Amino acid sequence: MALREIVYVPDEVLRRKARPVTSFGGELQTLIDDMVETMRNAPGVGLAAPQVGVSSRVIVVEFGDEEVPPKLYVVVNPEIQKKSDETLIGTEACLSIPGLAGDVERHLAVTVTGQSRRGQPVKIKASGWLARIFQHEIDHLNGILFTDRAERVWKLEEADPEEVLLD
Ligand code: NI
């Protein structure tokens, strides 16, 4: 495993629609291992492949809180299959946008489908912060950044670190 360099705005790879993954060989496995290491090192709660300069539809998410121990999710070709009508505003930040935070409205719950790192179908039901992270990461695969959706953007140093997601 190796750390990869995180790509920052205004790098155009962050604005591209990432390519679907069709091959589950060694190159993908290495990419995923490196993304997990890079996310943990940052540290962040999620990372999308374009954030390490690779325009492929791969995300990794690792999140836990007082109630739920941290769990690692790796999803290849993720799609939001279902989303709640109910939404919630929460504070987000992004490893690719240093120094900024913003309030973003997201669906309270989503069902994400896609494939595992070995190409097996996966389905994840997420709510709350976990659902927010998945929506943020899947946005990355479509060239969308949280600042596009935020109602308000401000300096990260002014935000309560306990209330901000970095992904
Ligand atoms: Ni991000």
User: Is 66 a catalytic site residue?
Assistant: no
Burial of 35 (0-12, 13-18, 19+ CB in 10 A): buried
Our measurement of the distance from residue 157's CA atom to the centroid of its chain's CA atoms, rounded to an integer in Å, reads: 21
149: left (phi over 0), alpha (psi -120 to 50) or beta: alpha
- Cα-to-centroid distance, 49 and ligand 1 (Å): 10
Task: Let me know if domain 12-163 sits in CATH 3.30.70.360.
Answer: no
- Cα-to-centroid distance, 140 and ligand 1 (Å): 7
**Considering 12, 137, 158, 162, which one is annotated as catalytic?**
137
Q: In what order do the strands lie in the sheet with 109-115?
A: 46-48, 58-63, 71-83, 109-115, 121-127
Q: Is the pLDDT of residue 75 over 70?
A: yes
Our measurement of the distance from residue 8's CA atom to the centroid of its chain's CA atoms, rounded to an integer in Å, reads: 14
Q: What is the pLDDT of residues 118-164, one digit of tens each?
A: 999 999 999 999 999 999 999 999 999 999 999 999 998 877 766 77
- Cα-to-centroid distance, 147 and ligand 1 (Å): 10
Half-sphere exposure of 4 (CA within 13 A, CB side): 23
pTM: 0.95
Mean pLDDT on 84-106: 96
Q: What does the DSSP assignment read for 82-148?
A: EE-S-EEEEEEEETTEEEEEEEEEEESEEEEEEE-TTS-EEEEEEEHHHHHHHHHHHHHHTT--HHH
Q: Is the pLDDT of residue 65 over 70?
A: yes
Return phi, psi of residue 49, to 5°: -55, -40
- Listed by start position, the domains of the chain span 12-163
Q: What is the pLDDT of residues 46-59, one digit of tens each?
A: 999 999 999 999 99
Q: What is the pLDDT of residue 162?
A: 66
- Cα-to-centroid distance, 33 and ligand 1 (Å): 18
Q: What is the pLDDT of residue 166?
A: 78
